[in-house]
Amino acid sequence: MSSKLSKYLPCSYVKKQFEKIAFFHSKWINANEIDKLHLWFFKALGYFKKVYSFNDDYEISICVFDSVNDAQEAINRRLSETALVIPYADEQEALIICFSPALNTKNNDQNRMIRQFLHEICHIATSIEKGYTRELGNKENCLPTWLDEAIAEYYSSIVFDNTNKINDSIEYYKINDIPLDVDNLFDSYLTPKIKDINEYKYVLGMVSYYIRQNNVSVWKFEKTINELIRKFT
């Protein structure tokens, strides 16, 4: 692990290695929780690999916090207990931060966690394909935040075969299609600026509507991303 990732990890956390996936956690976390999160992450990665290619040599680290304060101190950002965050990702490695199921009981839901992990894997896949560095607080050499989130939402829905989510988001976007500066939907990777808009649903609907209206093929990951970048940036 490079210093770019290790700076987000508390020095007291222990490491548990699963092939190319490293889990970091406090010694107080139940080992069964780590095993469970590991299983769900590998299921999510397996779903992605069934549809799109993924570099097997890519190194992913997952830090599981059992304290919101510890997590906020580690990444110097405000967090909710439901957050899954990538503080850093580039072409070679990435770090995902999440909370233990004991801290956030929603993380005991297998399907929810697989969907959430898929979303983060899609962020990582975009960084790999486009050579982007994704780092909290740094908007250089990366996609606009709203488009990055829209792509992750769209592809995680495709991989998880959640067409209802896509259809609902399109309807939401059409109903709420008002003059809106999408760059202002997110003031960081974590905190929405516009409170009366479901920002994730809106940007998913916007991108999904464009893809559907223009018959854009979604089965070539890099080609589709290039098309969306060309259209929206």
Instruction: Parse the chain into domains and list their residue ranges.
Output: 3-135, 145-232
Mean pLDDT value of segment 90-108: 91
* Amino acid at residue number 51: V
Residue 203, CA distances (Å) to 24, 61, 151, 206 in order: 32, 28, 9, 5
Q: Which CATH superfamily is domain 3-135 in?
A: Collagenase ColT, N-terminal domain (3.40.30.160)
Residue 131, CA distances (Å) to 13, 87, 89, 134, 142 in order: 30, 16, 10, 10, 9
Quickly tell me which residue has 């097997």 as its tokens.
56
Mean pLDDT value of segment 215-223: 88
pLDDT tens per residue, range 143-171 = 888 899 999 999 999 998 889 999 999 99
Residue 94: which H helix or E strand, with range? strand 93-99
pLDDT score recorded for residue 180: 63
Buried b (16+ CB within 10 A) or exposed e, 212-224: eeeeeebeebeeb
Q: State CA 223 to chain mean position distance.
A: 20
For the record, the structure tokens of 61 come out as 């680290």
For the record, the structure tokens of 230 come out as 């060309």
Q: Which residue has the higher pLDDT, 44 or 81?
A: 44
pLDDT score recorded for residue 184: 67
**Confidence class of residue 190 from pLDDT cuts 50, 70 and 90?**
very low
Mean pLDDT value of segment 85-108: 91
Helix axes 110-130, 145-159, angle to 10 degrees: 120
* pLDDT value at 205 more than 60: yes
pLDDT tens per residue, range 12-29 = 899 999 988 999 999 889
* pLDDT value at 57 more than 60: yes
Quickly tell me which residue has 């488009």 as its tokens.
147
Q: State CA 136 to chain mean position distance.
A: 13
At 209, is the secondary structure helix, strand, or coil?
helix
* pLDDT value at 189 more than 50: no
pLDDT score recorded for residue 178: 64
pLDDT score recorded for residue 181: 67
Query: What average pLDDT does the structure give for the chain?
Result: 87
pLDDT score recorded for residue 220: 86
At 196, is the secondary structure helix, strand, or coil?
coil
pLDDT score recorded for residue 207: 94
The CA-to-CA distance between both ends of the chain, in Å, stands at 33
